[in-house]
């Protein structure tokens, strides 16, 4: 598990790389909005408004919710650094199909797939109810139940469930637009996939 100083180093490296970029161009490629003079840009992150300031580079949610953890701040900078403006294809792929996805598959199952099925598999209506609070955009296009959550402007994720029966337990998976590698590394895809699940689990327990 990464330590806080690892996230700090990751944040600082991306901040250094972004500091020399044209922020209006960064915003255009990432589907964000640049302020006049490019002093900062804004984007939606799991349904929350986020401001990324340019000098010095900082990341903060602008609503009244909790402060973004450093790992999530770094994720947002990684997205801005990597974004190349590739259009979404409309073709949905599994994590196994992203670059090196097979290698990371066990970690992905532990981080995202298993929590999705374990917490929501027997109560998909709760998934639909809570998804609107974390960037949910509507029903998934696959499975018996599910939602599409927009993690970042150009990173939609399908959280999909299949109903169980007397013989088989519920099953689930997460799907990504095939363009996702243009915006996030494989490790960041795994992180981004698990985040809405844990956010919804926390929201459920807080009710």
Residue 160 lies in a domain: yes
Which of 107, 100, 71, 76 minimizes the C-alpha distance to 190?
Answer: 107
Same domain for 202 and 104: yes
pLDDT value at residue 164: 78
Q: Is residue 87 part of a domain?
A: no
Question: Is 155 within the bounds of a domain?
Answer: yes
Which residues does 136 contact at the CB level (< 8 Å), separation at least 6? 47, 128, 130, 147, 148, 149
pLDDT tens track for 147-157: 999 999 999 99
Same domain (yes/no): 187, 130: yes
Name the pairing type of β-strands 92-94 and 171-177: antiparallel
Phi, psi of 31 (to 5 degrees): 75, 25
pTM: 0.95
Residue that is last in its domain, among 17, 47, 82: 82
pLDDT exceeds cutoff 70 at 33? yes
Helix (H) or strand (E) holding 188: helix 186-206
Q: Considering the domain boundaries, does residue 56 fall inside one?
A: yes
Clarify whether residues 122 and 200 are in a common domain.
Answer: yes
Q: How many domains does the chain have?
A: 2
- The pLDDT of residue 145 is 93
Q: What percent of the chain has pLDDT over 70?
A: 99
Question: 63 and 119 share a domain?
Answer: no
Residues 182-195 have a mean pLDDT of 97
Give the end of a domain, one of 47, 82, 117.
82
Q: Which domain holds residue 67?
A: 4-82
Q: Which of 8-12, 35-39, 72-76, 101-105 has the lowest mean pLDDT?
A: 35-39
What pLDDT shows up at residue 75? 98
**Cβ proximity of 80 and 17 under 8 Å:** no
**Residue 57, in any domain of the structure:** yes
pLDDT of residue 11 exceeding 90: yes
- Is residue 51 domain-shared with residue 28, that is, in the same domain? yes
Question: Does residue 129 share a domain with residue 162?
Answer: yes
């Amino acid at each position: 598990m990464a330590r806080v100083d690892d996230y700090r180093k990751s944040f600082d490296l991306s901040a250094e790389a972004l500091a020399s970029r044209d922020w209006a161009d960064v915003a255009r490629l990432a589907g964000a909005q640049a302020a006049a003079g490019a002093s900062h840009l804004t984007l939606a992150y799991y349904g929350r408004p986020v401001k990324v300031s340019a000098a010095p580079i900082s990341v903060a949610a602008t609503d009244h919710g909790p402060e973004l953890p450093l790992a999530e701040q770094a994720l947002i900078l990684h997205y801005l650094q990597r974004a190349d403006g590739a259009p979404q294809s409309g073709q949905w792929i599994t994590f196994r199909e992203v670059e090196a996805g097979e290698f990371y598959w066990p970690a992905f199952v532990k981080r995202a797939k298993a929590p999705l099925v374990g917490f929501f598999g027997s109560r998909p209506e709760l998934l639909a109810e809570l998804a609107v609070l974390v960037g949910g955009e509507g029903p998934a296009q696959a499975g018996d139940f599910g939602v599409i959550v927009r993690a970042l402007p150009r990173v939609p994720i399908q959280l999909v469930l299949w109903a169980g029966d007397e013989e088989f337990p519920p099953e689930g998976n997460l799907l990504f637009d095939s363009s996702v590698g243009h915006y996030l590394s494989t490790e960041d895809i795994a992180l981004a996939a698990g985040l809405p699940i844990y956010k919804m689990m926390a929201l459920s327990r807080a009710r």
